[in-house]
Amino acid sequence: MSYWNRTGDAWKYRNGEPRTSKRLNTRKAGFEPQWTLEQIWQNPFKEERRYATDGLRVWTEWKPIPSASKTGVRIFDEWLQYISEGNYDTSAFCKRYPGLLNRDLDSLAIVLTGMNGCEFLRKYRLRTVDLLLRHTDLSPDEVARRSGFGSKNNLYLACKREFGIAPVERRKAIQKEGDIGRYR
């Protein structure tokens, strides 16, 4: 059978044997991680609106949001700051420091969080996406840029993979009355 005439199950077999899919060789921590994502995740907003009262009247005030815990590992803390600003190119971050490789950050992520670097970045960005979708009326392009996914197509694919729905549908599902304008 020629290459161009292959159809159906012929694609699944080579030389009469079924093809096996390659699995990614991902490392997992065999110990309890030092930090959880919730402890080191940095909020993309700077201030939160809170309502205060003195018993007679109610007013609105803006309170600063405290920064996340620091891990104590300078390079990892700087990487967290870099990705919290919406940057998604880990290679560009590594070029700032001679000798630093992507696999070094991957190893740090495993040691500190128990997740490999890709899994850590994905979960970090998805948590940011949820907050941006819920508390802003930003377009999907802007949400993708600010969360580190880069483009609305990447954001769409990540939301479909993680939540099973598009970002606009996710916004409708998680947004509650009074959420927009709560942060700035």
The percent of residues in the chain predicted with pLDDT above 70, rounded, is 83
Tell me what the mean pLDDT of segment 103-130 comes to.
Answer: 92
pLDDT in tens, 58-98: 667 888 888 777 888 899 999 999 998 888 889 999 999 99
Domains present along the chain, CATH in parentheses: 28-51+60-174 (1.10.10.60)
Please write down the long-range contacts of 78-84, taking CB distance under 8 Å and 24 or more positions apart.
79/105, 79/108, 80/40, 80/42, 81/42, 83/121, 83/124, 83/125, 83/148, 84/42, 84/44, 84/128
In 3D, which of 16, 17, 22 has the Cα closest to residue 1?
A: 16
Question: Does residue 41 have a pLDDT over 50?
Answer: yes
Tell me what the mean pLDDT of segment 5-24 comes to.
Answer: 50
